[in-house]
């Protein structure tokens, strides 16, 4: 029995989470395991009603779950940061979800605005550091509201935290290269016995303290993985290469802030935010991991029933992997791939006219047909 916390949140969050949860329940029935979902009334509505963001008792109840599904938080009715910091980042930090795993994969049948992008070329994973950097919230104001105002927000980078995310990235590249050697390797790299590649993305030419630490840690970690090729890109150049030559990327490892930015760009490569899933992983499994689509609450389309639930369903598949139900996760990805390849049922972001509900139902139908 898996106990799954559900934080539907704001905007399109509840609309896409409903599809994710119904799909999860079907997968569990078909694959022979049990899930119990525990809904949490957290997000903008709750805050506006009671002034509470994440009360201690509810945080403890989240801690008791095996994993969490989160839709999105943030609404124009609440000042920026209250929910993002107070709820989402608090959970990511408190439960040491130090890895933000964001696959970028173009499924056949999905249109991407990037000319020449094909499914063969776009299959990478961004491993985003998730507990440090500018996101720690270290800083403050002096003389706030006066002409002499000073605002400081510091990027925190610890050797422990950097090593932890680098190790995860190298291990992931090794797992991905086992059974299918990364096709983007050069002949020389293949001859040298490499099976995958980790590209570090940072800004060593400007952030000469923080990213000097990253570079030294990266080089030392790489020495322990002779079967993995390495590369380095400055983050600005990475944005260009991701569009021009996405096939060069296998695993990208990067900082919290840069990872946030390049994964929205990566979402576009794979057909938009409507299809991009992610996981906030606590690798030690000491605390629950939390799975959420890359997108936010999409206030511009909230309430219309047209948000794409594909990102959330792929997110559920990542959660199944994490819970050790990889066969179920693979089957769910297959079902999603079938719906995308058929192209008969799709939401407006993918050029269709169908509803969130209709796409969710099509995924469940495809899953039932496969299982
Ligand atoms: P957003 O991701 O909510 O929306 C960006 C664009 O993508 C919008 O045009 C939206 O309609 C579209 N889009 C997003 N998800 C979609 C889906 N499933 N199907 C179809 N189209 C989709 O980003 P934003 O507008 O910058 O942020 C809105 C709010 O969400 C803010 O409060 C922000 O802080 C918050 N946010 C939360 C999370 C999270 O909870 N994980 C992530 C990102 C942003
Ligand atoms: C994301 C979001 C969050 C982030 C915000 C809402 C805190 O943009 O999950 O990508 O910056 O990590
Ligand atoms: Mn983001």
Domain assignment present for residue 105? The answer is no
CATH code for position 220: 3.40.718.10
- Residue that is written with structure tokens 């290269």 in the block: 177
311 lines ligand 1 (CB under 6 A): yes
- Measured by CA distance, the residue closest to atom 12 of ligand 1 is 298
Q: Of 211, 237, 269, which closes a domain?
A: 269
Q: Find the domain containing 235 and state its range.
A: 113-269
Is residue 25 domain-shared with residue 80, that is, in the same domain?
A: yes
Domain assignment present for residue 103? The answer is no
pLDDT digits (tens, 9 = 90+) for 70-102: 999 999 999 999 999 999 999 999 999 999 999
Is residue 201 domain-shared with residue 234, that is, in the same domain?
A: yes
12 lines ligand 1 (CB under 6 A): yes
- Measured by CA distance, the residue closest to atom 5 of ligand 2 is 84
Is residue 126 domain-shared with residue 66, that is, in the same domain?
A: no
pLDDT beyond 90 at 346: yes
pLDDT of residue 176: 97
Is residue 254 domain-shared with residue 326, that is, in the same domain?
A: no
User: Which ligand has its closest atom nearest to the C-alpha of 261?
Assistant: 3
259 lines ligand 1 (CB under 6 A): no
Is residue 150 domain-shared with residue 259, that is, in the same domain?
A: yes
Is residue 62 domain-shared with residue 2, that is, in the same domain?
A: yes
pLDDT digits (tens, 9 = 90+) for 291-302: 999 999 999 999
Q: Of 269, 301, 323, which closes a domain?
A: 269
Domain assignment present for residue 107? The answer is no
Domain assignment present for residue 280? The answer is yes
116 Cβ partners below 8 Å, 6+ apart?
A: none
Is residue 253 domain-shared with residue 297, that is, in the same domain?
A: no
Is residue 151 domain-shared with residue 236, that is, in the same domain?
A: yes
pLDDT of residue 233: 98
Is residue 217 domain-shared with residue 364, that is, in the same domain?
A: no
Q: What is the mean pLDDT of residues 130-151?
A: 98
pLDDT band, very low/low/confident/very high, at 116 (cuts 50, 70, 90): confident
Is residue 80 domain-shared with residue 119, that is, in the same domain?
A: no
Is residue 84 domain-shared with residue 168, that is, in the same domain?
A: no
Contact 249, 172 (CB under 8 A): no
Domain count across the chain? 2
pLDDT of residue 126: 98
Domain assignment present for residue 246? The answer is yes
pLDDT of residue 169: 98
pLDDT digits (tens, 9 = 90+) for 160-186: 999 999 999 999 999 999 989 999 999
Q: Of 237, 269, 301, which closes a domain?
A: 269
Domain assignment present for residue 192? The answer is yes
* Percentage of the chain lying above the pLDDT 70 cut: 100
Domain assignment present for residue 309? The answer is yes
pLDDT of residue 240: 97
246 lines ligand 1 (CB under 6 A): no
pLDDT band, very low/low/confident/very high, at 367 (cuts 50, 70, 90): very high
Contact 102, 264 (CB under 8 A): no
Please, what is the average pLDDT of the chain? 97
How far is ligand 3, taken at its centre, from the CA of residue 130, in Å? 12
Q: What is the mean pLDDT of residues 356-368?
A: 98
pLDDT beyond 90 at 230: yes
349 lines ligand 1 (CB under 6 A): yes
pLDDT band, very low/low/confident/very high, at 16 (cuts 50, 70, 90): very high
pLDDT of residue 81: 94
Is residue 282 domain-shared with residue 219, that is, in the same domain?
A: no
Per-chain residues with Cβ under 5 A from ion ligand 3: 260
Domain assignment present for residue 108? The answer is no
């Amino acid at each position: 029995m898996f106990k799954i916390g559900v934080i539907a949140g704001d905007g399109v969050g509840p609309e896409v989470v409903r599809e994710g949860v119904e799909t999860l329940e079907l997968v569990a029935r078909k694959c022979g395991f049990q899930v119990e979902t525990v809904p949490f009334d957290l997000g903008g509505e709750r805050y506006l009603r009671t002034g509470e963001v994440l009360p201690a008792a509810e945080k403890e109840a989240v801690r008791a779950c095996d994993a969490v599904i989160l839709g999105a938080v943030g609404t124009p009715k609440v000042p920026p940061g209250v929910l993002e910091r107070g709820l989402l980042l608090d959970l990511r930090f408190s439960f040491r979800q130090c890895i933000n795993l964001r696959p970028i994969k173009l499924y056949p049948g999905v249109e991407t605005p990037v000319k020449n992008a094909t499914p063969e070329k776009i299959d990478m994973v961004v491993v985003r550091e998730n507990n440090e950097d500018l996101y720690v919230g270290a800083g403050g104001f002096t003389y706030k509201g006066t002409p002499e105002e000073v605002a400081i927000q510091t990027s925190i980078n610890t050797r422990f935290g950097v090593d932890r995310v680098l190790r995860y990235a190298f291990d992931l590249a090794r797992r991905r290269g086992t059974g299918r050697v990364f096709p983007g390797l050069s002949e020389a790299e293949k001859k040298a016995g490499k099976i995958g590649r980790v590209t570090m993305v940072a800004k060593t030419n400007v952030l000469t303290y923080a990213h000097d630490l990253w570079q030294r840690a990266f080089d030392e970690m790489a020495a322990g993985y002779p079967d993995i090729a390495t590369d380095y890109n400055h983050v600005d150049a990475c944005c260009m290469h991701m569009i021009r030559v996405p096939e060069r990327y296998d695993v990208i490892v990067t900082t919290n802030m840069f990872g946030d930015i390049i994964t929205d760009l990566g979402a576009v490569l794979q057909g938009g935010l409507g299809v991009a899933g992610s996981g906030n992983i606590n690798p030690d499994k000491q605390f629950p991991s939390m799975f959420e689509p890359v997108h936010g609450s999409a206030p511009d389309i909230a309430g219309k029933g047209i948000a794409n639930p594909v990102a959330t369903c792929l997110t559920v598949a990542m959660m199944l992997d994490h819970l050790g139900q990889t066969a179920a996760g693979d089957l769910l990805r297959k079902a999603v791939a079938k719906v995308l390849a058929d192209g008969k049922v799709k939401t407006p972001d993918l050029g269709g006219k169908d509803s969130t509900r209709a796409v969710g139902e099509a995924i469940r139908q495809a899953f039932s047909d496969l299982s």
